Amino acid sequence: MRLYPPSVSLIALLAVLLANTAAPRSAEATSALALSVPEMAQVSAAVVVGTIGTSRQEIHPIHARPVTATVITVDRTLAGAAPPDLEIRQWRGTLNGRTSAIPGDPSLEPGTRALFFLRNVDGQWFLTALSQSVFSLGTETDPRLHRTVDLALFVRTPDGALQRLAEPLPVPATLSAMESALRGVTLRGEETTP
């Protein structure tokens, strides 16, 4: 058995630590443009209040990645058009040994009542802007709105550069204030892919 002097062992340990520190890490946050309520509505097909139901996982037929489809029972449509029940698709889940996730895409907890900004692409429903798109509702007569934005948000400066925001853009505090903010906003509607 060959023994190395303590200085060689220390150098080897430092080399391993430096290599581990300098190694690239996987991204743990998603960057996105910060959208105001009118901007988010304009790129949506519908803004709805609904209750989160059950979810199921499937493999996307083209991209071969897990997708979670969560049923939403729509109580009220605030803008655009939506059916009474729809499935929100998210790139998340583990199925057949494959895992898919986008940091900043919110968890949809069954039984929770929330307000959703939704896109409709080729007949399938998606959150318009990840965690910016979901507001939980309080139990007051005019429910208070709350959202947790888990994204690195940016805005464009007048010269076109991107600037990081410390906090999300301000949003209406109550459901009635959200309804007022949506008045007169034209939604995009259903999108199709070429």
Return d(Cα 48, Cα 63) in angstroms, integer.
Answer: 28
In a domain, 5, yes or no: no
Burial class (CB in 10 A: 0-12, 13-18, 19+), 150: middle
- At residue 28 the predicted structure's pLDDT band, cuts being 50, 70 and 90, is low
Burial class (CB in 10 A: 0-12, 13-18, 19+), 28: exposed
- Report pLDDT digits (tens) over 63-92: 788 899 999 999 999 999 999 999 999 988
Strand partners, 116: 48, 134
**Global confidence as pTM:** 0.81
In a domain, 82, yes or no: yes
In a domain, 114, yes or no: yes
Residue 1 has pLDDT above 60, yes or no: no
Q: Are the C-beta atoms of 117 and 129 separated by less than 8 Å?
A: yes
Domain count, the chain: 1
Return d(Cα 162, Cα 34) in angstroms, integer.
Answer: 11
Q: Which residue has the higher pLDDT, 35 or 99?
A: 35
Residue-averaged pLDDT of the chain: 84
- Report pLDDT digits (tens) over 135-171: 999 999 999 999 999 888 999 899 999 999 988 889 9
What local confidence, expressed as pLDDT, does residue 43 receive?
95
Residue 94 has pLDDT above 60, yes or no: yes
Render 36-68 in DSSP notation, one character per residue: -HHHHHHT-SEEEEEEEEEEEEEE-TTT--EEE
In a domain, 6, yes or no: no
What local confidence, expressed as pLDDT, does residue 17 receive?
32
In a domain, 51, yes or no: yes
In a domain, 192, yes or no: no
Average confidence (pLDDT) over 41-57: 96
In a domain, 193, yes or no: no
189: Cβ contacts below 8 Å, ≥ 6 apart: 45, 80, 81, 120
- At residue 7 the predicted structure's pLDDT band, cuts being 50, 70 and 90, is very low
What local confidence, expressed as pLDDT, does residue 23 receive?
36
Q: What are phi and psi of 147, to 5 degrees?
A: -140, 150
In a domain, 177, yes or no: yes
Query: Which of 33-42, 95-104, 144-153 bottoms out in mean pLDDT, i.e. has the lowest?
Result: 95-104
Radius of gyration of the chain, Cα coordinates, nearest whole angstrom: 22
The domain of 153 spans 28-182
- Report pLDDT digits (tens) over 179-189: 999 999 999 88
List the CATH number of the domain containing 37. 2.40.50
Return d(Cα 178, Cα 172) in angstroms, integer.
Answer: 5
